[in-house]
Structure 1
Amino acid sequence: MARLLLRGFDIRKGYLDGAAQTQLIDVLRPILKSAPLFHPTTPSGKQMSVRMTSAGGLGWVSDKAGYRYQDTHPKGAAWPAIPDVILQMWKDLCSPDRDPDCCLINYYGEGARMGLHQDKDEADFSWPVLSVSLGDDALFRIGNTTRSGKTESIWLNSGDVVIMGGPARLAYHGIDRIRFGSSRLLPKGGRINLTLRVAT
Structure 2
Amino acid sequence: MAIPVEIRGLRYFPGLLDPDAQQSLVADLRKVVAAAPLYAPVTPGGRPMSVRMTSAGRLGWITDARGYRYEPRHPAGQPWPAIPPDVLALWHSLVGLPREPDCCLVNFYGEGAKMGLHQDRDEGDFSFPVLSINLGDEALFRIGGTDRKDPTESFWLKSGDVLLMGGPARLAWHGIDRLRFRSSRLLPGGGRINLTLRVVADGSISPSSS
TM-score, normalised by the number of residues in structure 1: 0.99
Name the CA distance, whole Å, in 1 between partners of 2:128 and 2:45. Answer: 29
- Contact kept, 8 Å, 1:101 with 1:199, in 2: the verdict is yes
Deviation at residue 112 of structure 1 after TM alignment: 0.2
Cα offsets for 1:44-86 (capped at 9, x unmatched): 0000001000000000010010000000000000000001111
SS across alignment from 2:82: coil
The code of the aligned residue for 2:22 comes to: Q
- Contact kept, 8 Å, 1:100 with 1:196, in 2: the verdict is yes
RMSD of aligned Cα (Å):
0.7
Within 5 Å, which residues of 2 pair with 1:115-154? 115-154=116-155
Deviation at residue 149 of structure 1 after TM alignment: 2.4
Deviation at residue 192 of structure 1 after TM alignment: 0.1
TM-score, normalised by the number of residues in structure 2: 0.94
- Contact kept, 8 Å, 1:59 with 1:71, in 2: the verdict is yes
Unmatched tracts of structure 2, length 5 or more = 202-210
Moved over 6 A (4+): none
SS across alignment from 1:31: helix
Cα offsets for 1:108-147 (capped at 9, x unmatched): 0000000000000002100000000000000000011011
Within 5 Å, which residues of 2 pair with 1:46-195? 46-195=47-196
Name the CA distance, whole Å, in 2 between partners of 1:137 and 1:146. Answer: 27
- Contact kept, 8 Å, 1:142 with 1:173, in 2: the verdict is yes
Deviation at residue 2 of structure 1 after TM alignment: 4.3
Farther off after superposition, 144-153 or 185-194: 144-153
SS across alignment from 1:132: strand
The code of the aligned residue for 1:89 comes to: L
SS across alignment from 1:167: helix
- Contact kept, 8 Å, 1:32 with 1:53, in 2: the verdict is yes
- Contact kept, 8 Å, 1:106 with 1:194, in 2: the verdict is yes
The code of the aligned residue for 1:115 comes to: G
The code of the aligned residue for 1:46 comes to: R
Deviation at residue 96 of structure 1 after TM alignment: 3.5
Q: How many positions carry a matched residue from both structures?
A: 200
Name the CA distance, whole Å, in 2 between partners of 1:172 and 1:188. Answer: 30
Unmatched tracts of structure 1, length 5 or more = none
